[in-house]
Chain A
Amino acid sequence: MSAVQRIRGGIGADEEYWLAIERGEFRISRCRHCKSWMWPANFRCGKCGSWDIDWEPVEPIGTIYTWTRNHAVSEALAERQADLPYVTLLVELPQAGGARVAGVLEGDETALKIGAQVRGRILPPSDKAKGYGSVVWSIESDAA
């Protein structure tokens, strides 16, 4: 996996997140000292000043914080062109301090709305995810 060209847009503190995904684990970073959840990942906890970061396993369950249905993508996402239209989400993770992760929705869209509960499924690295492992989300069937 180290052969994958890493995306440079962020600050570069999230490598452990992607390595965990490749092992089939969903982990979010957390300050070892003050226990604040840190997302996006950082090198230093801005709340307490600690440099010690833990990557804690988190169950990939959350709620849809917001979403869009994409009908167009630029060349930067040419590998998604055939999937249009597709839905992307921000998923809020209450069990990780309300961290919001980005993701693609798969499966039935009937119950798609802000607040709906979603569950993540980890996918191995793929061309579609630019050589990265990723988490895709599906809406949990309504228990009621």
Chain B
Amino acid sequence: MTRSMRGSAAIVGIGQTPYYKRGTSPDAEMKLALRAIVSACDDAGIDPRDVDGFVSYGSEHNTGQKLVPGLGTRELRFGALAWTHGGGIPAAVGIAAAAIHAGQADVVAVYRAMAEGSNQRLRVAVTQNDTPAQFLVNGIDMVMQRSAMRSRRMIEVDGVPAETLETIARVSYYHAQNNSGAVGHGRMLTHEQYAGSRFISEPYHLFDCSRENDGAAALILVSADRARDLKQKPAYVLSVPMGAGADGGSREDNHEPYTSVGMIGLAKRMWAESGYGPADVDVAQIYENFTGMAVQSIIDHGFCTAQTAGDFVTFDNLIAPSGSLPINTSGGNIADGFIHGMGSMVEAVRQIRGTSTNQVPGAKLSMMAGGPGDSMTSTGLFGAFETL
């Protein structure tokens, strides 16, 4: 890599509101966004007025220009939106880091706020406008059925054991038991409960599906130089590739390879730019809209193959602190809470700080895979100072 922004920016602040059941937020969506950003600034020891860049992804409505009055922004210098939904999370961090690297902004907030009551996202923003006629005319509604069909073929043709889906769900609930803020806290998921739960879209059971919450989460990024003088242990941005391959992009499920969730090329770029590989990763947050998509994300990243997935994607191997790759250590989208995966990005930072409720001892390399199966997606590797 001759050109790279590896390590030039760092995440120095994290902030989050509680997760509320969808549609029950006591606050308007904009207020949730403000609360998360101000909280992240407090965490970093930065005056909220000094945030001069705003980046989000997907259908975020709370633009930087709308946040200016409430934050008291001194000067808005940069704003951008990554062109995709959950697939845009590491990409949004990458846009923020690029802006800092290029001198376009100094303090950038990356955030996501959702309140169904305010924006009616599920009912309006996504289902009405983003789903092509090919699907809606034929009884297929947004991503769930399409993901289920992809996982069906992953299981039956690629040979990935169906049990791996249950493993992802049970690992998430296991981790949620130590996280008092998690939606799934106090509700351990047993094999019997999983197997006995109703099908939503076969092969997905109820527990294979994330359910959107109301809430907001935010990160604050600054340059690596500035990060050293702030309150928190920085999480350096090592590599955050976004994109799609030649046979990817928006193809209405005619992409190749079909069962891939679009991460194969991204992972290669991430390992090349960061200088690390799958075996080096201490802990990973694997965005799981649906469990089967997370299994394929693990495969796409090279942690295992379809042939070895049955050996790798096991409960013991994926739990903290003892597994070889603890994943979704806050409970993930499924059992912590789902504000389009942004909570997982916050957890990836906590692991580097050593403050997770399911801390992986000495974690230095922390990965966050964006939404699997988005027609453009992204992934990211973050590290402690020693990894630079």
Q: Which residues of A contact B (CB under 8 A)?
A: 6-11, 14, 18, 39-40, 65-77, 80, 83, 85-86, 88-90, 99-104, 113-114, 129-130, 132, 134
Interface-facing stretch out of B34-42, B62-70, B129-137, B237-245: B129-137
B137: which of A39, A74, A85, A129 is its contact (CB, 8 Å)? A129
Cβ–Cβ contact B201 & A76, under 8 A: no
Knowing A10-B132, A114-B153, say if A72 contacts B140 (CB, 8 Å): no
Cβ–Cβ contact A71 & B202, under 8 A: yes
Cβ–Cβ contact A68 & B152, under 8 A: yes
B264 CB, min distance to chain A CBs, angstroms: 19
B330 CB, min distance to chain A CBs, angstroms: 27
A6: which of B133, B141, B150 is its contact (CB, 8 Å)? B133
Interface-facing stretch out of B83-91, B246-254, B279-287: B246-254
A130: which of B137, B148, B156, B251 is its contact (CB, 8 Å)? B137
B292 CB, min distance to chain A CBs, angstroms: 11
How far, in whole Å, are A18 and B141 apart by their CA atoms in the complex? 19
Q: Which of B166-207 contact A (CB under 8 A)?
A: 198-204
Cβ–Cβ contact A10 & B133, under 8 A: yes
B27 CB, min distance to chain A CBs, angstroms: 24
Cβ–Cβ contact B199 & A69, under 8 A: yes
A7: which of B122, B132, B200, B202 is its contact (CB, 8 Å)? B132
B102 CB, min distance to chain A CBs, angstroms: 31
Closest to A103 in B: B138
11 extra interchain contacts, Cβ-Cβ under 8 A, other than A65-B153, A101-B134? A6-B133, A9-B135, A10-B133, A66-B153, A68-B152, A68-B201, A72-B201, A76-B128, A102-B138, A104-B138, A129-B137
Q: Is the C-beta of B123 less than 8 angstroms from some C-beta in chain A?
A: yes
Contacts of B129 in A (CB 8 A): 8-9
Contacts of B132 in A (CB 8 A): 7, 9-10, 14, 40
How far, in whole Å, are A10 and B137 apart by their CA atoms in the complex? 12
Q: How many interface residues does B have (CB within 8 Å)? A: 39
Contacts of A39 in B (CB 8 A): 252, 254
Q: Which residues of B contact A (CB under 8 A)?
A: 122-123, 127-142, 145, 148-150, 152-153, 156-157, 198-204, 250-254, 258
A67: which of B128, B134, B152 is its contact (CB, 8 Å)? B152
B127: which of A71, A75, A100, A102 is its contact (CB, 8 Å)? A75
A27 CB, min distance to chain B CBs, angstroms: 14
Cβ–Cβ contact B149 & A90, under 8 A: yes
How far, in whole Å, are A84 and B148 apart by their CA atoms in the complex? 16
How far, in whole Å, are A118 and B149 apart by their CA atoms in the complex? 17
How far, in whole Å, are A17 and B109 apart by their CA atoms in the complex? 44
> What 3 A-B pairs come out closest when comparing CB atoms?
A10-B132, A76-B127, A68-B148
How far, in whole Å, are A9 and B128 apart by their CA atoms in the complex? 7
Contacts of A134 in B (CB 8 A): 137-138
Contacts of A90 in B (CB 8 A): 149, 253
Cβ–Cβ contact A88 & B139, under 8 A: yes
Closest to A74 in B: B141
17 contacts between A and B (CB under 8 A): A7-B133, A14-B132, A14-B134, A39-B254, A40-B254, A67-B149, A68-B145, A71-B199, A73-B141, A76-B123, A83-B139, A85-B199, A88-B149, A90-B253, A100-B253, A114-B157, A132-B137
Cβ–Cβ contact A130 & B136, under 8 A: yes
Cβ–Cβ contact B202 & A77, under 8 A: no
How far, in whole Å, are A8 and B149 apart by their CA atoms in the complex? 23
Most chain B Cβ neighbours within 10 Å, of A76, A80, A83, A103: A76
Cβ–Cβ contact B131 & A76, under 8 A: yes
